[in-house]
Chain A
């Protein structure tokens, strides 16, 4: 029964019906439409604009910081004396070479030996794996260990080590063993491969600190003493 009633009802939405409906409810349709558009605009466009404004503000602050760093870097770099910088580079590279500097090590031993008058009996390097390129470590430099026999007593060994500590490449003693007139010392010679980490101009650089200058002077005095 009900199905038959509904089946007889026919809805017709032709153009004229829609026009009549619009004309009749025009006073409501337009404001409601505007309200809906405004709500949509506010939540989807204006809110994004607000986010953009706050984002732009933070971007501006970051850009200003970057520019400050770049200006300071430009100022520092433009004041660097290239000749002095080359000398410093040479100095630190001799002190902490980029690879195992066998020649430098032998020169250092020879220098310590000649200045103390202590003869070196024999020596052996513990080189390790030479087939692989050393990788740079963030924690510090790498060490090439050398075992050295000296024909001297404890006092002579102490003098030799004191002299060796003022030579380059940089070294540190691991252990000393003396028996009779023969001393054996284990010495680590440091080296550090170059790091290929990309560092841009946005990294703040500073003028050389007083401690850096003092260290460079000390290293320079070692090399002056050591030069033939």
Chain B
């Protein structure tokens, strides 16, 4: 006589679903461990950061420095003034030296009628009874070009005043 089991055998039908459940459980445990462990590590890293102690140290230093506020302000003013003074001095044209350089080239028997100097150019108008002296002045002034004290020398005019018996010369120079 064959025996027929009418009861459902436990496990035979649910086996795939049990397997799925086990896999899900394993995944959840692994994920939970990862998240828990990483959270703990990150919390420890944040907690052990020296930021708070550094911030306290910074506050203490600022508090100590506040006693020197007056000296600090004076220091800033002095530095600002020195920077600006140095800037002006480095850019300042020494007109007295430029005029002196030119005057040294003027022979004694040549009279300066007018002289004009600005940042870029220099004009000089002279008169002399001697043409040779005028020529010496031109030659001497050309030395300034050779010495690179002036960039270019232009002779604007050379004329002779019959009434006064004087040679009149006008020169202009481009300054470096």
Residue positions of A touching B, CB distance < 8 A:
27-28, 30-32, 34-35, 38-39, 41-42, 45-46, 49-50, 52-53, 56-57, 59-60, 63-64, 66-67, 70-71, 73-74, 77-78, 80, 82, 85-86, 88-89, 92-93, 95-96, 140-141, 153-155, 157-159, 161-162, 165, 170, 172-180, 190, 192, 194-195, 199, 201, 205, 211-212, 215-216, 219
Interface contact B84-A192, CB-CB below 8 Å: yes
B115 contacts A172, CB within 8 Å?
no
A-B contacts, CB under 8 A, total: 203
CA distance A25 to B79 in the complex (A): 79
Interface centre among B18, B25, B81 (most CB of A within 10 A): B81
Q: How far is the CB of B13 from chain A (nearest CB, A)?
A: 14
Shortest beta-carbon distance, B130 to chain A, in Å? 20
CB-CB under 8 A from A74, the residues of chain B are 61, 64-65, 68
* Docked pose: A38 CA to B61 CA in angstroms: 44
Report chain A residues within 8 Å CB of B38.
42, 46, 49
Closest 7 CB pairs of A and B: A31-B24, A92-B81, A34-B28, A162-B96, A38-B31, A27-B21, A31-B28
26 contacts between A and B (CB under 8 A): A27-B24, A28-B24, A31-B21, A32-B24, A34-B31, A35-B31, A39-B31, A41-B39, A52-B46, A53-B45, A74-B61, A74-B64, A77-B68, A85-B74, A92-B78, A92-B81, A140-B87, A140-B88, A141-B88, A158-B96, A158-B99, A158-B103, A165-B96, A174-B119, A176-B95, A215-B82
Complex contacts, A95 vs chain B, CB 8 Å = 81, 85
B108 at the interface (CB under 8 A from A): no
| Interface-facing stretch out of B3-11, B50-58, B154-162, B163-171 | B50-58
Hey, which bits of chain B sit against chain A, CB under 8 A? Answer: 17-18, 20-21, 24-25, 27-28, 31-32, 34-35, 38-39, 42-43, 45-46, 49-51, 54-55, 57-58, 61-62, 64-66, 68, 71-72, 74-82, 84-89, 91-97, 99-100, 103, 112-119
Neighbouring B residues of A176 by C-beta, 8 Å: 95, 99, 115-118
- Asked if A27 and B99 sit within 8 Å, CB to CB, the answer is no
